[in-house]
Each structure stands twice: as structure tokens, then as C-alpha cells.
Structure 1
Amino acid sequence: MTLTLPAGLDVNVSPSPVAMVWNEPGSPHESVATPGIRLAPGDALVQVEYATVCGSDVHTVRGDRSAPSPLVLGHEQVGRVVALGDGATRADGSALELGDRVVWSVAVSCGSCDRCERGLQQKCRSLAKYGHERISRGWELTGGFATHVHVRAGSSIVVVDDALPAEVAAAASCATATAVAALEAASATVELDGALLLITGGGMVGLTAAAMAVEAGAEVILSDPDASRRALARRLGAIASDPRAKKGAAEHLDEVLAVRAQRGLVEILVAIEASGAGAAVETVIKRIGIGGVVVLVGSVSPGPAVALDAESIVRRLVTLKGVHNYSPSQLVRAVEFLERAHRTVPLARLVGATYPLDELDRALEDAASGVHVRVGVAPPTGPAR
């Protein structure tokens, strides 16, 4: 069912949209129907084709991070527009259309506060985030683990090509766009083309950043203790390093660097820390070369304090940056990368299993196991695997 609506009218969809609602750690999700949705000007109703489980979803379910409840998790998804509020637009300012296949930003921002005007829409003064907000009257379909999502005005909506596999497209809204943000933060200090780049953490952000950096001309070393993720890194064109090698992480990395030195790449000038592990944070700061840049992207959950040698950072002219989420333009570039690269880069392999929506708890358990880089969730109308 598709409708174009005047401002503020209700949308009735048959059958009713269903969301999987989380209440607290240790309790299963509940399937809740939402019989009617009111779309304000600029809003859209999107029928979810496919979603992927982000690490933050797992952290919330396990109780590792506080979250309001009841809550509809999920913020990596792709779907089709089935109803529109008046004046709904795409990220490029053009009119959103019924039937558009889209992804959208994790953040809903006002666009006019001081932070939005500085290009920090993901830190808007009145920020709301898909998959992170308590269900409220009028905004019940707030996350991607549902048959539909109520996409609010202030979201950056990007159309994706029908040829882009759903399991590749879904992650654009978080992992892929975050990888773009991390590399853009690095490239503002050091040109990626020809640089030796170290990534710690072979999760979705780290592996995607590796593929992007290889495309940009960097020589990429990806460090992860999991053999299967190191194998994926090699398939993406990176050199794999094992931080738990018997001879020691430092020595193993030194061996890798010795080989690179034969090609004139004598020091690491870009490092992206995507694991969130304190030891990895210390490693990238310690190993970065003179005039290099370190981008911290994985430290999104509370952890132990990390030792910082300020004198060494000063004397080595090190730039240290933090990246959290991304800007609207970075989501656009994430989709452009996926549409360009998916035919030659095995990005679909990063999603290892897919579960029906009503088996969301099993999907989260599988994601928590760490066996797969990403686990997919398919609503009844989504692709079956």
C-alpha cells in the first residue's frame, strides 16, 4: 500500500507494521503491531527490506550500555518508501518519491542549531537516533528491527541502486558511513594514496575502512586476533597481522613493517583504531610515525583508562582525532562507495548469516558470538537466505 499524504494525516497499512520491542537485558523481544502512523511534514514511512545487527545493538541487549526502554533496536537497514509526508526530501535536496529504495542516517537533527551549522549534525542539540530512542506516542517505529520504520524529517535519506545487494546496502547507515568519516578525518592530515595505514580491529568498520583505503591507494595492515577476519582482510586487499602471535604483537608488526620498508614505506602515517580495546588504542598511538594521524573510532563503550605519553605525542607531531557517527555527506559517499565497489570487492561476505525478524533474539545471540562480522535480519517481505 502506498500513499502520498497532506501534512499530519494518519497512514493505515494492512497488515499493520510490526516492531520487535526490547525491554531489558535478559528478556526476549516482544512483537508489537502498530496499526496507524501519523506522518508529519518531511516524514516518510519505509518498509524494511533487510537489516544488520551492529555491535551497539549487542552491547545494549547484554546490558553493557544503558538504554531507554521500551526500545526498537536496529539502525542499519535498507528499505522502500511506501508513504510520504508533505515535502519529504532526499539528502541532496531533491524530492523523495514513493518506491525509492533508501538508507538513512542514524541521526535525526534539527539542521539549525550551532552544532548542525558547524557540520556536526550527529551531535545536534536536539538529537534523536534510530535504534536508540524510547518508543513514544507518535513515534513507535523507531528502529530497523521491524517491518517498517517511521523516518522523521531531519534524517538524511539516500537512494540506493536496486542492483546493490541488501546485505551490503544495510550497513551504509552506520558502519560504512563511519568508515568514510574515519578515513576523511585521517586524510585531512595525511594523504592516503601511498601511505602506510594500520587498522586495529577487523569488525565491520575496520574491514570496510580497509577496503576503502586500499581503493584510495594506501598500503593497509589490518590487525585482528581472529583468523577468519584476517582472511577477510586479505581478500579485501590488506595485509593481515595477528596481535596475539606467539612471538608477540609488537614483533609480529615489526616483521610486517620490515617487508614494507623494502618498498620505502618506513613508518605508519595513518592509524585507525576500530576495536575499542585499550591495548589497541595504546598500540596505534605508540606506533604512529612522525607527523602521523591516529583516528579513534572503536571506543564507543565505557572502558579502562588508557596511558598517554603526552611528550611523545608532542615530539612526534602526532594528530589524534575521535570520530563518532558521520555527516550527511559522508553517508552519501558511503553509498557511492558501495555501489562502485560491490561487484569487485567481496563485501557481501561480511554478512555471515540471516535470520527472520521473528527470530531476532537468535540473530543477536549469533552476533554476540563473534563468529560473523555481521548478522542479517530479514522481515517477512525481505530476501530469504
Structure 2
Amino acid sequence: MDPLSSRLTTAAIWVGGSDIELRQVEIPDLADGETLVRVRLATVCGSDLHTVTGRRSGACPSILGHEAVGEVVAVGAATTAVVGQRVIWSVTVTCGKCARCRSGRTAKCESVRKVGHEPFHGDWPLSGAYAQHIILPRGTTIAVVPPDLPDAVAAPAACATATVMATIDAAGDLRGRRVLVVGAGMLGLTAVAACAEAGAEVQAVDIDPDRLTTAHRFGATTADTDPVDVAIDYTGSASAIDAALRRLDIGGVLVLAGSVAPTPPLPVDPETLVRRWLTITGVHNYEPRHLRRAVDFLVRTVREYPWDEVVAEPVALTQLGAALHRPPIGILRTAVAPRL
């Protein structure tokens, strides 16, 4: 049963540049496998900032936003979600049937669709989190949020925290390893804490001294020039990646997660890779298990690290345009509460 008193919801439509239009949007009847969620809080991912500034292309007009937490208010047939649950959901919507999905690479599903990336005038207009409601199609991974996890801590799990879990998977066992985290934004900060929890000695580098100060509160030590066993890059900067690669010790692993836009080529000497037994791998998006691990990780560390302090007090949808800019000093995520 759908408990909605109205079939209309308010959504912030991105129409180009930093321009946002608030519109009343009809909530359609749910198809089999679909879930309707009332958005409680959405955080502004760096990729959305890249979209509105033109650094990357995106469907326009559209409803942006893919880091969020909400409450299930209605479900279609053959849906496992339960009305009343507080949940987060995956960025990717997958078919589960293609060769990539069957091989465990659902993030690269041959027909993948993405929350907060779809055209408003397509067949899935309520696809982004900068709205009072979002529809999650069949193929979306949904994770229940425990009561003791605040909205501001849970929302970034849907992208930043889950992506970090995927990069740690790619890095391998970190116990007793020397890890270099390149970039101390939300992903880097999360990686610092996750690597420290995994038993690693963690160093962090960033061009922003304020972010480095925050990283130290989450378990980072001061970076130096000593060799490291693992380097994880969240910046996408060719020069930063080159510097990290040069620091890898014998058998070292370099995980790239920030290279999601064109950059200058990275010079790599094949002989160096061979003689030093180095591994370079990339991670883009994540698998369902990583979303669940993200929630578990935050539950374990919610009282150990000040996660809520790096997320700004939420603003209303009417102020979304102003929120789509780099956060103020000391803040790594701005936030929007669509029902304010």
C-alpha cells in the first residue's frame, strides 16, 4: 500500500551550469521491483561539482545526487525492501544477467544505469537524490541503515565509503603494510580511517593543509619519503600518481580511483614494473558487497572518528545551487535535506 497523501513531489532539476529549477513532479505507479524512497538527507559528491562546472558531461536536464539516505514509503511487487526502513542505495542499477554481471563486475554492467545521472525527460525522471522522493528500479542494491548511524554519517556511504571499500579490496591484505593515501577529500579521509582500522600504517598527502590536519584526526601520520607497500590515489592528478608510483617498494600495489576525467599521460617504465614486481589497478564504482561493508565500517567507527563534523548542516532544496560549490574549510561534504 502506498501511504502517500499526494502523487506529487518536489525535485531540484539541474538545467545547466549551476542553474537549478524546483519543480513539482508526478510520482508514477511503481512497477515490479521498484522502491519509492523519501529522501531524508543527500550529500554533494565531488562528481556532481564536476558536472555543474563542466569538468565532466552529464545528462541535462536531470536530477543530480547519488549519495543519500532515505525512508522506504512504498514498494512494487517482488521487492525485498520494507516500508518504514531507513536505507541507502547503490549508485549503479544493473541487469544481473549480462556477462559482466555474471563475472562479478556488476559495476560495469553492459546496460548499467546510474542514480543521479539519468535524463529527466527519459523513462526514469525521479532518478536523483536532490528531490523529496526517488524511485529505485529493480537492480538497485539497497542496504538498511542501523538506528545508531546518523543520516549525515550514512549518506556518503552510498558513494564515497563504498568506493573506498572497493579500493581496499583491490589493495589486498593491509595488516602491517605501509599505505599512502593520495588526496584527503571525503574518499581519502575515509580510506585513511579504513586502512588504519585494517592494521596499516597510513600516510596521507594533499595540497590542502587543512585537509591534512583533518586526516590526522582519522588516523593518518605525517607523510614522508620512505617507501610504501600500497598507494591509493583519489585525485586523478598525473603528477601525484607519478610521485606515488615512485614510492612503491618491491611488490608494491598502486590503486587508481580518482582518474575519472582526461589527464596528461602517465609515464610508466615497463622494465621498472617487471623488476620491482609492481601492480597497477583501477577501481570505478563498486559491487553490492562494498555497500554493505561501508555500512558495517561506519557502524564500527561512528564513535571513534568525528564523521559528522566533516558534513555541513543541511540546507533546503531552494539553496541547492549555492551548495553545488566547494565546501567551506573543514567541511568535506555539503548536504541537502529535501523536506526542509
TM bin, normalised by shorter chain, reads: over 0.9
CA–CA distance in 1 between the matches of 2:13 and 2:103? 35
**Structure 2 stretches lacking a partner, 5+ long:** none
Confirm whether residue 352 of structure 1 aligns to residue 337 of structure 2: no
**Structure 1 stretches lacking a partner, 5+ long:** 5-11, 90-95, 242-252, 258-266
The correspondence for 1:21, drawn from 4, 9, 13, is 13
1:291 aligns with 251
* 1:134-173 equivalent positions in 2, closer than 5 A: 134-173=119-158
CA–CA distance in 2 between the matches of 1:109 and 1:115? 10
The correspondence for 2:199, drawn from 217, 225, 235, is 217
Deviation at 1:344, TM superposition (A): 1.4
CA–CA distance in 1 between the matches of 2:267 and 2:329? 28
TM-score (norm 1): 0.85
CA–CA distance in 1 between the matches of 2:326 and 2:5? 32
2:213 aligns with 231
Answer whether contact 1:13 1:36 (CA < 8 A) is retained.
no
Deviation at 1:130, TM superposition (A): 0.6
CA–CA distance in 1 between the matches of 2:26 and 2:256? 43
Deviation at 1:15, TM superposition (A): 6.9
Provide the aligned length of Structure 1 versus Structure 2. 340
1:264 aligns with none
Structure 1 residues 290 and 169: alpha-carbon distance in aligned structure 2, compared to 1, 3 A threshold: same
Deviation at 1:35, TM superposition (A): 2.4
2:169 aligns with 184
CA–CA distance in 2 between the matches of 1:240 and 1:359? 37
TM-score (norm 2): 0.96
SS in structure 1 opposite 2:28? Answer: strand
Confirm whether residue 62 of structure 1 aligns to residue 53 of structure 2: yes
CA–CA distance in 2 between the matches of 1:137 and 1:200? 38
Once the two structures are superposed, what CA deviation does each residue of 1:309-352 show, in whole Å capped at 9, x if it has no partner? 22111111001110001000111101111111111111112213
Once the two structures are superposed, what CA deviation does each residue of 1:2-58 show, in whole Å capped at 9, x if it has no partner? 628xxxxxxx652721111112225x1001111232211110000001010011100
More moved, 303-312 vs 229-238: 303-312
SS in structure 1 opposite 2:325? Answer: helix
CA–CA distance in 2 between the matches of 1:78 and 1:147? 11
The correspondence for 2:113, drawn from 128, 137, 143, is 128
Q: Which amino acid aligns with 1:3?
A: D
The correspondence for 1:79, drawn from 70, 73, 80, is 70
Once the two structures are superposed, what CA deviation does each residue of 1:356-385 show, in whole Å capped at 9, x if it has no partner? 121001101244x6763111111125xxxx
Confirm whether residue 374 of structure 1 aligns to residue 333 of structure 2: yes
The correspondence for 2:188, drawn from 206, 230, 248, is 206
Q: Which runs of 4+ in 1 moved over 6 A?
A: none
The correspondence for 1:364, drawn from 317, 320, 324, is 324
Q: Which amino acid aligns with 2:314?
A: T
CA–CA distance in 2 between the matches of 1:224 and 1:337? 24
CA–CA distance in 1 between the matches of 2:146 and 2:235? 31
Report the structure number with the largest CA radius of gyration.
Answer: 1
SS in structure 2 opposite 1:168? Answer: helix
Q: Which amino acid aligns with 2:159?
A: C
CA–CA distance in 1 between the matches of 2:99 and 2:20? 38
Confirm whether residue 272 of structure 1 aligns to residue 236 of structure 2: no
More moved, 332-341 vs 29-38: 29-38
Q: Which amino acid aligns with 2:285?
A: N
